[in-house]
């Protein structure tokens, strides 16, 4: 009896120590739910064999070896997620617990000055490293738990004995579930007109992209690049929409199709896209009374109490419209422009804070954030038609 068990044990030991088996065991150990437990528990003491460089959570240090990812990440919004707009309102009256914001913006325990004590109170966090907070969503926030690195299956051959005790290879690391915790509200969270304020993952899940196996990373991290471009980037937006215009007499029609965005265009309440039609006179001056504007977006008031309109375009769908040219000038031009305001909501919000600053607001930071939101708009599309109406 006893002998038999001993034999089984002897038989199992070599199998479990082969790398193939450890890999399978690791893979089973990984769950998105565990990985994204908020706030992410403190990393604890680094393994004894780690050098200072391997023990560091600072992205600059990861960057000494992972230069490509570091250079790309630096250009992304993820590296700016603790910018002045967020930092400036962390101690405002409506944020009674800053951890509700740091959850997505700086998710590591080491990035928060406060923590929840076992009896449920906000207390000082002894693990706080301020230099990590200001760097936003850092490498370690997505890749490191208890000093263990997690990453996708390498595309090329695996390096022998890599530093930081190697890494755990996760089969579906680039799955949309990875992005969900920060880009999707839970069903019980805030809704406007019955719709969740943040619903990007569900929008994607209900689109044809799920069936085609096209995940967030396929569009936002092409070739695993850490760029995460979105609404702030004209080239990225151009990849996602098809714009057609036609003129017949005094009618100029347009069609905007969401041909390559994996969710609503746009997905959040923050951007506003303005389609403007207007006449320009012979001297190139816009005739103000000819201006007509139409909007794409989910527009809401600052108190989030209701929606004014929701004209976002779901994947594969088209928004069409028409401008009627008023033949008020001869020899002029008619123009359509499509201008994107990526931060329209925040621009209005920061302006209201500055006009009437509540206690706890860092007005210097909010002013800086406001100026940034004022500068982020750009022209996505522009077209002119010559007008050849006879002078009356
Ligand atoms: C820990 C939370 C978190 C995770 C996980 C996360 N993001 Fe983000 N993401 C954010 C935050 C916060 C912002 C807003 C940053 C800012 O502008 O302050 C953001 C912004 C973005 C943007 C906005 C770009 C723009 O122009 O507005 C894109 C695109 C994006 N994320 C894609 C992804 C994808 C794809 C994944 C999955 C691989 C992902 N994110 C995972 C928190 C997260
Ligand atoms: C569920 C994840 C999540 C939580 C929680 C969250 N945010 Fe965000 N935040 C995002 C994402 C994603 C974006 C980018 C998309 C957008 O603009 O809505 C963003 C954008 C922003 C921006 C505009 C970009 C910038 O950097 O200026 C501000 C300001 C902001 N959040 C403040 C806050 C504050 C304050 C809190 C806490 C009350 C908070 N957020 C909580 C995910 C989150
Ligand atoms: C928002 C989460 C997020 C952040 C922040 C992030 N990564 Fe990644 N990283 C990913 C995902 C997801 C993948 C896998 C993408 C895929 O499979 O398509 C990945 C892949 C990688 C890979 C494998 C690349 C390859 O070509 O095989 C390395 C190395 C890496 N990341 C290092 C870093 C470093 C260094 C930083 C900081 C400069 C960083 N990451 C920041 C989510 C993140
Ligand atoms: C001393 C150099 C060095 C430092 C510092 C370092 N790494 Fe690595 N890392 C490597 C090497 C080498 C590999 C294995 C080869 C590869 O896949 O790039 C690796 C592998 C990884 C992988 C797995 C890549 C994959 O293919 O899945 C991730 C994720 C990762 N490192 C993240 C980090 C993060 C995050 C930091 C900082 C907190 C960091 N590394 C610091 C050298 C380093
Ligand atoms: C088929 C390609 C594709 C897929 C799949 C995709 N996106 Fe996007 N995404 C885009 C394009 C193109 C834009 C720029 C246009 C826009 O802002 O809507 C964008 C914009 C964004 C933005 C900027 C904010 C905004 O209001 O639009 C965020 C955040 C984002 N995506 C997150 C995600 C997440 C999270 C997933 C997965 C659940 C995902 N995306 C899947 C193509 C894609």
Predicted confidence (pLDDT) per residue in 46-99, tens digit: 999 999 999 999 999 999 999 999 999 999 999 999 999 999 999 998 998 999
Looking at the fold, whether 147 and 242 belong to one and the same domain comes out as: no
Please indicate whether residue 352, judged by its CB atom, sits closer than 6 Å to ligand 2.
no
Q: What pLDDT, on the 0 to 100 scale, is given for residue 269? A: 97
Q: Is 205 in the pocket of ligand 5 (CB under 6 A)?
A: no
Last residue of one domain, picked from the residues 173, 194, 223 = 173
Question: Measuring from atom 34 of ligand 5, which residue has the nearest CA?
Answer: 216
Atom of ligand 3 nearest to the CA of 73: 38
- Output the pLDDT for position 326: 79
> Are residues 266 and 382 located together in one domain of the fold?
yes
Bond preceding residue 134 cis, omega within 30 of 0: no
d(CA 62, CA 186): 32
169 with 237, same domain: the answer is no
Residues 115, 251 within the same domain: no
The residue out of 139, 156, 173 marking a domain boundary is: 173
Residue owning the nearest CA to atom 5 of ligand 3: 139
Does 354 map to a domain?
no
Cα four-point dihedral sign 200, 206, 208, 209: positive
pLDDT of residue 20: 45
23 and 142 share a domain?
yes
Closest residue to atom 17 of ligand 3, CA basis:
174
The predicted pLDDT at position 159 comes to 85
Supply the range of the domain harboring residue 51. Answer: 18-173
Position 329 confidence tier, pLDDT thresholds 50, 70, 90: low
* CATH number of the domain within which 333 lies: 2.60.40.10
Distance (Å) from CA 299 to ligand 5 centroid: 18
Position 108 in a domain: yes
CA of 234 to the centre of ligand 4 (A): 32
Give the per-residue pLDDT at 156: 87
Per the prediction, the chain carries an average pLDDT of 91
pLDDT at 11 over 80: no
- CB 296 near ligand 2, within 6 Å: no
pLDDT of residue 26: 47
Tell me: do 122 and 253 sit in the same domain: no
Together in a domain, 77 and 153 = yes
* Residue 335 pLDDT: 96
Structural domain includes residue 82: yes
Q: Looking at ligand 5, which atom is closest to the CA of residue 214?
A: 5
Mutating to test ligand 1, I would choose from 34, 80, 81 the residue with most ligand atoms within 8 A of its C-beta, which is 81
Task: Say how far apart CA 294 and CA 231 lie, in whole Å.
Answer: 19
300 found inside a domain: yes
Kindly state whether residue 324 falls inside one of the protein's structural domains. yes
How does residue 157 score in pLDDT terms, banded at 50, 70 and 90?
Answer: confident
- Tens of pLDDT, residue by residue over 167-202, are 999 999 999 999 999 999 999 999 999 999 999 999
Please check whether residue 256 lies inside any domain of the structure. Answer: yes
User: Does 285 share its domain with 138?
Assistant: no
Nearest-CA residue for ligand 5 atom 15 is 237
Q: To test ligand 4's pocket by mutation, which of 163, 169, 170, 223 has the most ligand atoms within 8 angstroms of CB? A: 163
Structural domain count of the chain? 2
Do 162 and 239 share a domain, yes or no?
Answer: no
Given this model, what pLDDT does residue 388 score? 73
Same domain, 135 and 274: no
Among protein residues, the one whose CA lies closest to atom 1 of ligand 1: 104
- Choose between 41 and 10: higher pLDDT: 41
pLDDT at 28 over 80: no
Q: What tens digit of pLDDT does each residue of 97-130 get?
A: 999 999 999 999 999 999 999 898 999 999 999 9
244 is a domain residue: yes
Is there a single domain that holds both residue 74 and residue 148? yes
Closest ligand 4 atom, residue 139 Cα? 35
Q: Which residue CA neighbors atom 36 of ligand 3 most closely?
A: 139
Residue 45 lies in a domain: yes
Q: Please determine, for residue 239, whether its predicted confidence score (pLDDT) is greater than 50.
A: yes
Picking from 152, 173, 194, the residue at the C-terminal end of a domain is: 173
Nearest ligand to the CA of 259 is 5
| Position 387 confidence tier, pLDDT thresholds 50, 70, 90 | confident
162 and 258 together in one domain: no
Q: Whose CA is nearest to atom 6 of ligand 5?
A: 262
């Amino acid at each position: 009896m006893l002998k038999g068990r001993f034999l089984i044990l002897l038989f199992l030991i070599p199998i479990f120590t082969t790398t193939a088996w450890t890999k399978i065991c690791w893979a089973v150990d990984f769950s998105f739910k565990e990985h994204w437990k908020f706030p992410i528990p403190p990393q604890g003491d680094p393994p004894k064999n780690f050098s200072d460089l391997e023990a560091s959570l600072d992205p600059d240090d990861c960057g000494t070896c992972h230069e490509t990812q570091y250079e790309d990440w630096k250009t992304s919004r993820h590296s700016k997620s603790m910018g002045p707009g967020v930092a400036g309102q962390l101690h405002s009256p409506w944020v009674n617990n800053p951890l509700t914001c740091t959850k997505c913006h700086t998710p590591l325990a080491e990035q928060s000055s406060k923590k929840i004590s076992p009896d449920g109170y906000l207390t000082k966090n002894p693990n706080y490293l301020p230099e990590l907070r200001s760097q936003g969503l850092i490498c370690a926030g997505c890749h490191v738990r208890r000093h263990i690195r997690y990453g996708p299956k390498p595309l090329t051959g695996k390096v022998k004995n890599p530093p930081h005790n190697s890494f755990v290879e996760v089969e579906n690391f680039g799955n949309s579930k990875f992005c969900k915790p920060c880009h999707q509200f839970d069903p019980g969270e805030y809704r406007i007109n019955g719709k969740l304020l943040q619903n990007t993952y569900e929008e994607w899940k209900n689109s044809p992209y799920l069936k085609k196996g096209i995940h967030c990373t396929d569009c936002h991290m092409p070739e695993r690049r850490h760029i995460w471009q979105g609404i702030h980037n004209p080239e990225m937006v151009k990849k996602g929409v098809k714009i057609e215009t036609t003129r017949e007499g005094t009618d100029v029609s347009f069609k905007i199709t969401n041909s390559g965005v994996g969710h609503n265009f746009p997905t959040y309440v923050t951007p506003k896209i303005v389609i403007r039609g207007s006449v320009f006179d012979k001297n190139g001056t816009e005739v103000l009374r000819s201006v007509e504007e139409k909007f794409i977006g989910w527009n809401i008031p600052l108190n989030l109490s209701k929606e004014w309109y929701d004209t976002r375009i779901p994947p594969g769908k088209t928004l069409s419209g028409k401008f009627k040219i008023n033949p008020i000038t001869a020899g002029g031009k008619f123009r359509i422009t499509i201008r994107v305001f990526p931060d329209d909501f925040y621009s209005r919000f920061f302006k209201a804070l500055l006009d009437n600053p509540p206690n706890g607001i860092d007005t210097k930071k909010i002013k800086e954030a406001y100026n940034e939101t004022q500068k982020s708009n750009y022209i996505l599309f522009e077209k002119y038609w010559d007008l050849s109406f006879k002078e009356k």
